[in-house]
Chain A
């Protein structure tokens, strides 16, 4: 009897349990059809299931009465329905694709990124070192990108028909007055920063937002690495440079230093060139960084670097001698204040002192001192995932003096800039970035207002198209301001850029036609510089990157067409600037075999027009090899201009041709980590 009662009790319990359970089932689909892997569940419980390949779900819940059934999947709007549990059977759920918010979309138009980011062209510092003919120079590495021009006599960045000083460099948002080290004509002027300093760079070829000013053509913002978590010590040596650097990591901060000497003396003795050196190029530099995580959301970064450069050569019967001291220091604080607010404040100091003997004739002396203090603060607020704003104010305080024999000038002025930027998602897949920048130049007391806008269509992760339009300004060089009797207003450039990009798993294609109109360029008129110059630059940049052909092989091709005309400086009629070449092509290949990485780069640029004629085309085929010899040793070698072509850079009015001082350049470097627990990590910083 007892047994019978127990069985009866169990049977009844099971029956009631079954009666208390409700089966929920149905299907989930999107516009394309059934969706697999959707998490369907009753909110507040663990009851639920994942949809199968046909989008079906089925599960049992003990919930009774009113409950919420939810279907969620990454990339889709969440679906919820509230009803009595018994009425939630046989659901046919439709999920809408979720349109990306501002934080999820990175508009890549006109920008190439180096470092870890969502933007394209993700190279790291080692890639920079290994790029074609860069020899570890950031500026040279960037010249594999479209939109840049090959100007062999100085190696500086020339972008989309603009002069080299139209491209400005920023470190942690702060301006660098002179980002190159000095050299004599015909020699490359290397960028003064090591690629290992930075975790990311965003090279913008135009159409940038309101934050950046004083750049007519392009900007190169670079972000230094974060607080180091471990100690490092390393040395490197090559035929031309020697370095020692390291980092001491503390609990929430790190201190880094780097000392470097570049000396062309030994190299020139082994491989003589066509110059008669009295003092081969030498540069001694030291850098230090201190980074401190003040709190979880606040970081203070400081940087100080000093370069001493010296070079001398015998030319045209005189002993040209150059010396330059270049000091740059900055300190920035970035703090997330909560509720979507971010505060940035920074200050930077640039001081450059140049002296030259026998500059133009035997016995003369040239002296130039330039100083700039850059102060900047900015606040950003993310109001919603679809709308954010930023506003900032900055001041450039500049002073310079220049003396050549008994003539010279002293300049002292400041430039105040304010900007407001707004980013908004207008409708799903359509994004607008609106900004306005105002600048006031102290000596002319004029205000300049520059509106800028970027409209982007981003239908998915693979394709995006943007149109950018905006006005940009830049104060003319000190020489022109002085010779313009402080009346020279700022030059301006209007950019119109169309950008289309396809990004597949292994292939990237970007096409960017552009048009730039220049106004108020300095023009020499009756012995004075006036803002009467003008010009235009138009063209198209094409960039293709592919890694699908062969495993471990990556290829890139960058082609730029540029048609540029200007009336400025001492021109008597509009014509193509001497630095501009109509066609530029770069092809690169990188192939990894085990611990050896082989690189090949081909650079072609069509001839440049001078009054006395057009130069022959430029061509250089470069090869490099990187050997990861040991976890703590990297060996790198490169040979530029394999074919030994003598490239001509300029034709003087008397018809003489000026070209490269050497046809080939061989570089061999060894990087050694002395104290580092990470393999293949350059320890200098």
Chain B
């Protein structure tokens, strides 16, 4: 009987600890999400190249605060690519693309990273390369862009970013 009570206590303690741990994690994730949201919201007020650079820098600070999480890396890559696609010939475009490539590589190592998001980022990366030099990179990377968006939507048909980027890409292709 004692052992049974002990076992029940043990289970109760374990469950309590696990709950506390997951609550902390949830709080952690909430806090992280809030910081990312704050950072991204600044771009709605100001979308100058400087604002993008500051936003990416902030996201990297958040990444330093939560090193094992995918979200800061994902948004850092996304905003770096957003900057590069809007400013393809800017002086900082290459370094921003390099930042995105690094973040994508880091995301690939994370088990929690969403594969559909990862494919979207990869497609976006090749899309930026095409925007930078359509004559040379169009033929070289066109199929990669298509394949990555397709794969992203196959893994998650509700991936809105992949849908939007794919649509933008089709529109861009039809104009050429």
| Chain A, Cβ-Cβ closest to B173 | A679
Known: A48-B57, A552-B135, A592-B135. A680 touches B154 (CB 8 A): no
Q: Nearest-CB distance from A336 to chain B (Å)? A: 10
Q: How long is the Cα–Cα vector from A122 to B136 in the complex, in angstroms?
A: 11
CB < 8 Å: which of A45, A49, A551 contacts B135? A551
Cβ-based interface call for B140 (8 A): yes
| B contact residues around A126 at 8 Å (CB) | 139
| B contact residues around A551 at 8 Å (CB) | 135
CB < 8 Å: which of A43, A116, A228, A547 contacts B136? A547
Q: How long is the Cα–Cα vector from A126 to B141 in the complex, in angstroms?
A: 12
Q: How long is the Cα–Cα vector from A592 to B53 in the complex, in angstroms?
A: 36
CB < 8 Å: which of B62, B98, B139, B173 contacts A46? B62
- Interface set, chain A 582-626, CB cutoff 8 A to B: 592
Contact status B64-A230, CB under 8 Å? no
Contact status B173-A37, CB under 8 Å? no
Contact status A45-B92, CB under 8 Å? no
Interface string of A25-50 (1 = CB under 8 A from B): 00000000000010101011110111
Please indicate which of the listed interface residues B57, B140, B146, B151 has the most CB atoms of chain A within 10 Å of its own CB: B57
| A contact residues around B8 at 8 Å (CB) | none
Q: How long is the Cα–Cα vector from A49 to B39 in the complex, in angstroms?
A: 13
Q: How long is the Cα–Cα vector from A406 to B55 in the complex, in angstroms?
A: 82
Report how many A-B pairs have Cβ atoms within 8 Å.
64
Known: A48-B57, A229-B154. A37 touches B142 (CB 8 A): no
Contact status A296-B115, CB under 8 Å? yes
Contact status B140-A229, CB under 8 Å? no
- Interface set, chain B 39-77, CB cutoff 8 A to A: 39, 53-54, 57-58, 60-62, 64-65
CB < 8 Å: which of A230, A251, A679 contacts B150? A230
CB < 8 Å: which of B61, B136, B139 contacts A39? B61
Contact status B102-A74, CB under 8 Å? yes
Interface string of A309-324 (1 = CB under 8 A from B): 0000000000000000
Cβ-based interface call for A72 (8 A): yes
Q: How long is the Cα–Cα vector from A75 to B102 in the complex, in angstroms?
A: 11
Cβ-based interface call for B147 (8 A): yes
Q: How long is the Cα–Cα vector from A26 to B40 in the complex, in angstroms?
A: 27
Q: Nearest-CB distance from A71 to chain B (Å)? A: 11
Cβ-based interface call for B161 (8 A): no
| B contact residues around A45 at 8 Å (CB) | 61, 65
Contact status A37-B144, CB under 8 Å? no
Residues of B within 8 A of A (CB-CB), count: 31
Residues of A within 8 A of B (CB-CB), count: 32
Cβ-based interface call for A630 (8 A): no
Contact status B150-A39, CB under 8 Å? no
- Interface set, chain A 38-66, CB cutoff 8 A to B: 39, 41, 43-46, 48-50
Cβ-based interface call for A70 (8 A): yes
Q: How long is the Cα–Cα vector from A37 to B61 in the complex, in angstroms?
A: 14
| A contact residues around B147 at 8 Å (CB) | 228-230
Q: How long is the Cα–Cα vector from A37 to B53 in the complex, in angstroms?
A: 8
- Interface set, chain A 241-284, CB cutoff 8 A to B: 251
| A contact residues around B58 at 8 Å (CB) | 46, 48
Q: Nearest-CB distance from A82 to chain B (Å)? A: 14
| B contact residues around A72 at 8 Å (CB) | 60
Cβ-based interface call for A677 (8 A): yes
Cβ-based interface call for B7 (8 A): no
- Interface set, chain B 76-124, CB cutoff 8 A to A: 92, 95, 98-99, 102, 115
Contact status B150-A124, CB under 8 Å? no
Q: Nearest-CB distance from A291 to chain B (Å)? A: 13
CB < 8 Å: which of A39, A230, A680 contacts B60? A39
| Chain A, Cβ-Cβ closest to B148 | A229
CB < 8 Å: which of B54, B115, B140 contacts A124? B140
Contact status B61-A48, CB under 8 Å? yes
| Chain B, Cβ-Cβ closest to A228 | B147
| A contact residues around B139 at 8 Å (CB) | 124, 126, 680
Cβ-based interface call for B35 (8 A): yes
- Interface set, chain B 145-167, CB cutoff 8 A to A: 146-147, 150-151, 154
CB < 8 Å: which of A43, A74, A122, A296 contacts B95? A74
| B contact residues around A50 at 8 Å (CB) | 53-54, 57
Cβ-based interface call for B143 (8 A): yes
Q: Nearest-CB distance from A407 to chain B (Å)? A: 53
Contacts beyond the supplied A37-B92, A41-B61: 8 A-B pairs with Cβ under 8 Å: A37-B95, A43-B64, A46-B61, A72-B60, A74-B99, A74-B102, A229-B154, A678-B146
Could you give 24 example pairs across A and B, Cβ below 8 Å?
A37-B53, A37-B92, A37-B95, A39-B57, A39-B60, A41-B57, A41-B64, A45-B61, A45-B65, A46-B35, A46-B62, A50-B54, A72-B60, A75-B98, A124-B140, A126-B139, A228-B147, A229-B147, A230-B147, A230-B150, A251-B154, A547-B136, A551-B135, A679-B173
| Residues of B near any A CB (own CB < 8 A) | 35, 38-39, 53-54, 57-58, 60-62, 64-65, 92, 95, 98-99, 102, 115, 135-136, 139-140, 142-144, 146-147, 150-151, 154, 173
